[in-house]
Amino acid sequence: MGTKMAPAYANIFMHSIEEPFLKKQKLKPLIYKRYIDDIFIVWTHTEHQLKSFIETLNKLHPTINFTNETSHTKVTFLDINIYKGPNFNTTNKLSHSTFYKPTNNFTYLPPTSAHPPSTIKGILKGELVRIERTTSSQTNRERITDTIIEKFQRRGYPKSLTASTRANTRPTITKRTKQTRPIIFKTQYHTNKKHPRNALIKHWNLIESHPHLSTAFPNQPKTCFQTGKSLANHLIRASTSLRCPQHHQPDRPTLFVKPPTPRAR
């Protein structure tokens, strides 16, 4: 959506026109939830009244247009299918499952790519966790997981990796607690280098046995990798700046943006 602040500005703007509108309506949705520009509504009135509601909604602002897809049984919201399951009539609870666009080619990062092993495993685990969280039916969860596992294996992911990751995948909710900031050991990843954490663990006893270092470093540092320079870094060296032209450095191409001139009122 352009700049980093664009989603926040869009949310603030939409809230400023939605809240007063909903308060004035006599017939309101049972549920009205919006994420950026996608809205999920549960409507308990007639279809004609829903059409009138959307027409009124489209008159709130001249440049904001609301399009809609309605169904009595199933709708798609973000990456989730929300539908009336077989037990809806008895429980009044909606079911949901993971949604994939028909144009999705499932071109996951191949395991032969020069990325840390944790990145390769994290992509697989992240997808499986998403299925666990967004699919309510165990039968559908197993079916979708089987399909996605097959897609990963076609990309070259070993069966041993997909099987072990699937067995250890559970939907988790992490609670944020106040902890001491860990020490980070940052290094650049390369496929020809041994994992630096192995050397840290191997010789950590030297720090633990030291009277001063053991106090300064009570816990082992966490290892993280930084991205190395790619071909793009050598080919593209331009940067954007609002600096004045007299501060221009010839060896570093800079894009100068002239601020807009205020108009007299």
Q: Which pLDDT band holds residue 238 (cuts at 50, 70, 90)?
A: low
Higher pLDDT, 61 or 225: 61
- pLDDT of 148 higher than 90: yes
| Predicted TM-score of the model (pTM) | 0.68
Percent over 90 (pLDDT), the chain: 45
Pairing of strands 38-42, 74-77: unpaired
- pLDDT of 170 higher than 60: yes
- pLDDT of 2 higher than 70: no
**Which of these ranges, 1-15, 105-119, 152-166, has the smallest mean pLDDT?**
1-15
Q: Which pLDDT band holds residue 259 (cuts at 50, 70, 90)?
A: very low
